[in-house]
Amino acid sequence: MRPDDNPEADVIPLITGSVAEFYIQPMLPLVGDIDVMHHRSTWLAIPRGHPPPTQLPAEFSNYVKVCEIVDSHLPGYVYLELRYLLTECSDNDNYNYFETQHGLYSGNATDRIDGQFAIHGPAVLNDFSDTSLLSVDVVGCVRCLSWPAQAVDWPTRHIYHDWPNSVTVNCVINNGCDVVQVVHRQCRQDEMMSKSQWRLSFSRAEIVLLNSWMPVQQIVYHMLRFFMKSELLANNDASFESLSNYHVKTLMMWTCELKSLSFWTDDLNLIRICVGVLHTLSVWLTHTHCPHYFVTNCNLRSV
């Protein structure tokens, strides 16, 4: 794929969501669509204060615009300030950089595709429901090769029950993150913020973490997703209207970190395990606080 406004740039996809996270079989009955993130080969994000890179993976172009990730007043939401232009040297594959004018913020307008596709939040929905194919949600993003400062506490916080282990943690942070085109609901009416606000995405980290789960944890995750969608939400309970699959995923990641191995393996009973996990969710709902798994002080119930 190449964006219409820059035929020299590549658009690099990453399959995320259920298709990338589930490894139990059979696969197709467990997913409703395919989630794809894509970043341009001509854009890169770096944590604020980091020096511009001198080397990049081969997927990047020989001319790259580099933005610094700038905090907003809302945890997990950021701005991208254009800071550098990188050009690749032909003799050694390194990049030279040139500073740009400060204060130029990158807009978050999604790469629009042909009008036959619907806009679904930050995603462009390719609806194939009238065929045998799964529909595809495509979300534009900017790649960040480094672990973000907004989640600096995550790799070093105390792990009580050896999940995630050090190998998994290292794999996660080495994958960096992405910045996606999402505006916080409190900022949608603000002219400046609605055009320039972005959200940190940890989809790459989540793929690694969920694929490190035991089969019983994967099965419980699927059962909870199915239960939330088919039972609770079907009853139109106002307490659950704003809950999504991401809340269930966050709930499961916290549970895997905070519960011992015996919670999952002793007297194996899937219903008992699900009830235990849902008890944590009930506490979150009572206190209207759903803690983000990676970003300290980010409450998903307010997002």
pLDDT of the chain, 303 residues: tens digit per residue: 666 666 778 889 999 988 888 877 655 555 667 889 999 999 999 999 999 999 999 999 999 999 999 999 999 999 999 999 999 998 888 999 999 877 667 776 544 444 444 444 555 555 555 555 667 888 889 999 999 999 999 999 988 898 999 999 999 999 999 999 888 888 888 878 888 899 999 999 999 999 999 999 999 999 998 888 776 655 555 556 678 889 999 999 999 999 999 999 988 899 999 999 999 999 999 998 999 999 989 998 766
Number of Cβ within 10 Å of residue 278's Cβ equals: 16
- The answer to whether residues 197 and 239 belong to one domain is no
Classify 34 as helix, strand or coil.
strand
Tally the domains of the chain. 2
The residue from 212, 239, 268 where one domain ends is 212
**Locus of tokens 């015996």:** 262
DSSP code, position 150: G
pTM listed for this prediction: 0.87
Helices (H), 142-236: 166-174, 191-196, 203-210, 215-227
- The answer to whether residues 269 and 204 belong to one domain is no
| Owning domain of residue 256 | 214-303
- The answer to whether residues 170 and 233 belong to one domain is no
- The answer to whether residues 204 and 263 belong to one domain is no
CB contact set of 172 (below 8 Å; sequence gap of 6+):
147, 155, 164, 204, 205, 208, 209
- The answer to whether residues 31 and 75 belong to one domain is yes
Helices (H), 2-123: 17-21
The residue from 169, 196, 212 where one domain ends is 212
The residue from 212, 239, 273 where one domain ends is 212
Classify 178 as helix, strand or coil.
strand
Q: Dig out the tokens for 245 from the structure.
A: 């699959």
- The answer to whether residues 157 and 268 belong to one domain is no
Q: Positive or negative CA dihedral for 69, 73, 77, 81? A: negative
- The answer to whether residues 273 and 156 belong to one domain is no
- The answer to whether residues 172 and 221 belong to one domain is no
